[in-house]
């Protein structure tokens, strides 16, 4: 049985620096996501325009993901992490132009939105690299017996920063406006870089001149396809997030259905992450010790039911509670899936496997945002959210009945 020792893992200074840097950068990313959804909807008053934010990022992220995995495995990881960090600072800095001067120009709200989409397209390229780098560094920093706990703590830091980012983003938008919120986001990403500078270098085990790029990228894909536990977990989460992306419609719910304004919008955005943070804190102390595969299937189906409840609710407190519960179930799912991927992946292809993982998982959030926007345009907002929750439940049933290895998975 693997020993879970949160305090012992946190005694590792390098791991703390990696975790703290990730906390600040995810805090910034969540604030940016909150800001962009609000900003674009205020510019266009069109739910579909929110979906296009996700599409603008997911296209380059997915297109570059396999190559990003190859680059991560073949190069020094700390240097790549810092390059991506500063690339984000530059790109988000470009959004300051319409934020500070948009009202002084003759550009329409839709024209400013197109500019925002263009900037987000390039952040998608940076995301293809930065997404897999941090988790790929963890196994070289902590001992193997502490790896499951490190994965849980990493996800806990992610969720705490998500909660704070969503909530603070809403309050800053209400109190200081879009432009000063963007300035604060850039400052947070710079602070993250200060912690990343404290990390040790992690050099590649390969000599680049001896590696064929296409064969290298294919190796990560082949490994996932033959490892049914990883494949099942990634497929389950990808489709659940794709169809269960109700959070993309929160700006519409906050503005037009629940009528709670920017402050209520920020809290609704943070609700699912509050639930996830609570459950992951519990899992850090009391880990899941058996039947993780079955639990994964049950919590994904429960997540879909919560999305249906949120879609039908017209009461702010009830909508908030459905999102909190959905976050608790999603948090369990994330911990199980992340641990399966880390434990089942050899070090020498970890970057490539995690890059494929980013195609399945990270990019599915943006595709889910696009799907939600498109479905809202075709069906109406409420029907689209209920449809997404129903599809999530069906996906859990299908994966559970067709993947016995995942269903029997324990670690």
Residues in the chain, pLDDT under 50: 1-4
pLDDT for position 365: 64
What's 309's domain CATH number?
1.20.1250.20
The alpha helices in 142-260, defined as continuous H runs, are 147-196, 213-226, 228-243, 250-252
Q: What is the DSSP letter of 205?
A: S
Listing DSSP states for 350-389 in one string gives HHHHHHHHHHHTHHHHHHHHHHHHHHHHHH-HHHHHHHHH
Residue 208: inside a domain: no
Q: The domain containing residue 57 runs over which residues?
A: 13-199+213-402
pLDDT for 340: 81
* Predicted local distance difference test score (pLDDT) of residue 1: 41
Contact 4, 287 (CB under 8 A): yes
Q: What's residue 25's pLDDT?
A: 93
**What is the number of structural domains in the chain?**
1
Contacts of 211 (CB under 8 A, 6+ apart): 70, 74
The answer to whether residue 2 is domain-embedded is no
Contact 197, 82 (CB under 8 A): yes
What are the Cα distances from residue 105, in Å, to 35, 99, 108, 109, 112?
21, 11, 9, 11, 10
**Nearest by Cα to 375 from 367, 384, 364, 383:** 384
Note whether residue 6 is domain-resident. no
Residue 1 domain-assigned (yes or no): no
Asked whether residue 342 is assigned to any structural domain, the reply reads: yes
In a domain, residue 180? The reply is yes
Cα separation, 306 vs 301, whole angstroms: 9
pLDDT at 369: 65
Decide if 206 is inside a domain: no
The per-residue pLDDT for range 278-288, each reduced to its tens digit, is: 888 888 777 77
Computed over every residue of the chain, the mean pLDDT equals: 82
150-159 CB burial, b ≥16 within 10 A, e <16: bbbbbbbbbb
**CA pair distance 306, 309, nearest whole angstrom:** 5
Task: With CA atoms as reference, report the closest residue to 162 among 30, 28, 321, 263.
Answer: 30
Is 170 contained in some domain? yes
Q: What is the pTM of this model?
A: 0.71
Give me the pLDDT at residue 245, please. Answer: 66
């Amino acid at each position: 049985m693997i020993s879970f020792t949160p305090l012992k893992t946190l005694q590792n200074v390098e791991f703390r620096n990696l975790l703290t840097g990730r906390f600040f950068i995810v805090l910034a990313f969540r604030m940016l996501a909150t800001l962009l959804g609000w900003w674009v909807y205020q510019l266009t008053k069109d739910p579909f325009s929110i979906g296009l934010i996700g599409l603008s990022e997911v296209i380059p992220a997915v297109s570059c993901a396999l190559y990003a995995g190859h680059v991560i495995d073949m190069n020094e990881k700390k240097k790549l992490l810092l390059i991506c960090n500063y690339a984000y600072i530059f790109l988000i800095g470009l959004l300051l132009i319409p934020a500070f001067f948009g009202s002084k120009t003759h550009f329409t709200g839709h024209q400013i939105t197109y500019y925002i989409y263009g900037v987000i397209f390039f952040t998608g390229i940076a995301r293809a690299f930065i997404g897999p780098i941090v988790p790929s560094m963890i196994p070289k920093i902590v001992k193997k017996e502490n790896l499951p706990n490190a994965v849980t703590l990493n996800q806990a830091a992610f969720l705490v920063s998500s909660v704070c980012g969503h909530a603070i983003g809403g309050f800053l938008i209400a109190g200081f406006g879009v432009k000063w919120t963007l300035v604060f986001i850039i400052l947070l990403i710079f602070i993250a870089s200060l912690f990343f500078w404290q990390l040790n270098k992690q050099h590649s085990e390969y000599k680049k001149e001896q590696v064929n790029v296409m064969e290298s990228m294919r190796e990560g894909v082949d490994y996932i396809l033959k490892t049914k536990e990883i494949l099942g977990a990634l497929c389950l989460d990808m489709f659940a997030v794709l169809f269960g992306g109700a959070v993309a419609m929160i700006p519409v719910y906050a503005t037009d259905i629940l009528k709670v304004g920017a402050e209520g919008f920020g809290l609704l955005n943070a609700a699912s992450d509050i639930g996830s943070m609570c459950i992951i804190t519990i899992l850090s102390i009391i880990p899941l010790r058996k039947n993780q595969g079955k639990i994964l299937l049950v919590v994904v189906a429960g997540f879909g039911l919560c999305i249906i409840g949120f879609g039908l609710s017209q009461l702010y407190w009830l909508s908030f509670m459905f999102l909190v519960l959905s976050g608790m179930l999603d948090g369990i799912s994330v911990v199980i899936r992340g641990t399966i991927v880390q434990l089942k992946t050899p070090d020498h292809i970890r970057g490539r496997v995690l890059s494929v993982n980013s195609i399945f998982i990270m990019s599915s959030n943006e595709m889910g945002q696009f799907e939600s926007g498109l479905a809202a345009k075709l069906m109406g907002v409420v029907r689209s959210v209920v449809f997404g929750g129903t599809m999530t439940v069906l996906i859990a049933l299908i994966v559970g009945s067709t993947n016995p290895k995942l269903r029997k998975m324990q670690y």
